[in-house]
Structure 1
């Protein structure tokens, strides 16, 4: 089944001939007094509507197990809950600011440590120690959009008994399937492309391994960061249009990249594969598109604030993946938890802007950028 079909047709046979699933809001479920058994018992452990969403998430990723959480960070925290006292996780220096905050401030209190490296692609056997339990990766990276070879990293990490955790938020299962490339755990901020309308907070984790699934199921039940039935239903419905939305968003991103690359007012433009021919080759081998996020820096003589204030369509706001275009300044918004030195190491300058393309008409977006650049001169 193609992913466009799976997004719509994974769930079937609803009650009363309905063509959409019911929303089961119950927090508790009646059990058999003779055995204390039941398919469901308490909403935190499981719920029919959340279970249906998790079936969809699994189908999209081609995974055996899927888990829905109350936010992308709840999903990331659950994935990192596999770490034990004394374990180490390796992460890229450019990792999302929320993940950086968690591994910098929370993880050490649980007895685990994080090690940041400038380039995961440069890792060798010498970088792994007996304590290295996992490697956490974003490809494309946020917000530099640098690419890492997933197959090569998986082979290296697995040789040392380390798990590979991939944040696939930027690509989604439509464009990249890390589990098929050997990754062990895939996390997504479902708030972004999966939900797609900037009105829903959610996270997703998918795995194939039964043992990892048990650990994630425990994280749901013990820590309680699960997605509500109402939001689970809304996410089921939103996912149905994910492939269509992303197709339009990618087309817009390509148009914007063409415009920015030809613009003298723009000093640098970043998109997946733009750093080098090798990164472009690697990305093409493991993903089926470039996604809909670009980042860029204005020429030094332009007024960044005037540019942002003049924009009519992209809202100056955090997040990405919605039907509306958004623009942000990572240094002070998405990655503000990082120290200035950490941002510098990650290639995140104070002038870098990240643009998430929506589904507006490309010509209108280009015209808006043109007039905002004129205002900034």
Structure 2
């Protein structure tokens, strides 16, 4: 019987590494660029840290275990990981991608991938008939679920069935839920992407990205690419992510508890016209989430009456900080129009539902009483301003 995920966050199935490293409980940081050879045509298993480093390798094993994959690859950022995934494709290839993605992904596809001869169909994968967009040169379906920032939920099993039918790759960005709440490989995905900067690291103190797969063929390709491009995660940053992952389960549970309470509270506010959180029963993806995930996460988006309301809230928050990342222990509020999706063309933002009155909340692990007091103060001042 395999270990539960909370334990997997802390321990690999094999405890040999602890013995090899003098019993060190915290895995050592191998801060070295190169490795001495014991003799001619002999190796310790490591030759040069661009190829592999013991600290990074240990982290990759942990992440592969959490996602139930055969292999994982740690990169210098989430965008470095997505860029590497795009290296699987060649000029003339076509991809079906969700229309509501993180702005950096959209920017990469429009300004780099398209320049390299790859074409895209942008589809609302959670509601459109994705199969009708498959072309002779289609090679993959790329989704986030839930999406950033509109929290659309796509049925991963359904996408996997389409991908298998047409011999396509299914690539799933699992950043918002983390492997603690969702495992796309178990649902039929071929590649899982994470911005490790977010929930895996959990402390807003480093950048990282991951690709995870069960396929030996894809694994071999990524291993070649990561050593060739030099985009691997540095030893110290690998150690920071290892440290963060140890508390992943505790953080995800607490943040989700807080998010549910805040979503319910926001629904009572006159200034809020819509609350978008999959944990609410009225969310269109609520039932799908219950089938394919173990939780609803701690990300939520809400719409206000006006741009002025949004700006007032951003100016008034103090405990909740106005910043554009997510997944850390701190609660952060983001204005997608000028932050995460600033480079996304206006017509795409509007089509996806991102207006100048949209705010995104990454709920942290603070005491819920303090978070609600902060929101009550800010929204109270907002209503006073209205009068």
Would you say 1:142 and 2:148 are equivalent positions? yes
Partner of 1:195: 201
Question: Among 227, 230, 233, which residue is 1:224 paired with?
Answer: 230
The 8 Å contact of residues 123 and 130 in structure 2, kept in 1 or not, is answered as no
> C-alpha separation between the residues in 2 aligned to 1:301 and 1:141?
22
Partner of 1:251: 257
Question: 1:150-181, CA deviations, whole angstroms, 9 ceiling, x for partnerless residues?
Answer: 00011012211110100000000100000000
Would you say 1:342 and 2:342 are equivalent positions? no
The ranges of structure 1 where at least 4 consecutive aligned residues each deviate by more than 6 angstroms after the TM superposition are none
Shift of 1:274: 5.0
Question: Among 310, 313, 319, which residue is 2:316 paired with?
Answer: 310
Comparing 11-20 and 125-134, the one that deviates more? 11-20
The 8 Å contact of residues 106 and 344 in structure 2, kept in 1 or not, is answered as yes
Shift of 1:331: 1.2
Question: Among 163, 167, 179, which residue is 1:161 paired with?
Answer: 167
Partner of 2:244: 238
> C-alpha separation between the residues in 2 aligned to 1:92 and 1:245?
28
Would you say 1:175 and 2:181 are equivalent positions? yes
> C-alpha separation between the residues in 1 aligned to 2:294 and 2:202?
20
Please, what is the CA RMSD of the aligned residues? 1.6
Shift of 1:347: 1.5
How many residues are paired up? 377
TM-score, normalised with respect to structure 2: 0.94
Shift of 1:35: 2.1
The 8 Å contact of residues 193 and 321 in structure 1, kept in 2 or not, is answered as yes
Question: Among 108, 111, 117, which residue is 1:111 paired with?
Answer: 117
Partner of 1:355: 361
SS at match of 1:8: coil
Partner of 2:79: 73
Partner of 1:2: 4
Shift of 1:129: 0.6
Partner of 2:100: 94
The 8 Å contact of residues 277 and 283 in structure 2, kept in 1 or not, is answered as no
The 8 Å contact of residues 34 and 47 in structure 2, kept in 1 or not, is answered as yes
Would you say 1:12 and 2:15 are equivalent positions? yes
The 8 Å contact of residues 277 and 301 in structure 2, kept in 1 or not, is answered as yes
> C-alpha separation between the residues in 1 aligned to 2:291 and 2:340?
29
> C-alpha separation between the residues in 2 aligned to 1:277 and 1:256?
15
Question: Among 54, 60, 64, which residue is 1:54 paired with?
Answer: 60
Residues 358 and 278 of structure 1: CA distance in aligned 2, closer, same or farther (over 3 Å):
closer
The 8 Å contact of residues 330 and 364 in structure 2, kept in 1 or not, is answered as yes
SS at match of 2:114: helix
Shift of 1:278: 5.2
SS at match of 1:257: helix
TM-score, normalised with respect to structure 1: 0.96
Comparing 284-293 and 83-92, the one that deviates more? 83-92
Comparing 293-302 and 229-238, the one that deviates more? 293-302
Shift of 1:36: 5.6
SS at match of 1:110: coil
Shift of 1:287: 0.5
> C-alpha separation between the residues in 2 aligned to 1:316 and 1:240?
27
The 8 Å contact of residues 306 and 376 in structure 1, kept in 2 or not, is answered as yes
The 8 Å contact of residues 121 and 153 in structure 1, kept in 2 or not, is answered as no
> C-alpha separation between the residues in 1 aligned to 2:307 and 2:117?
48
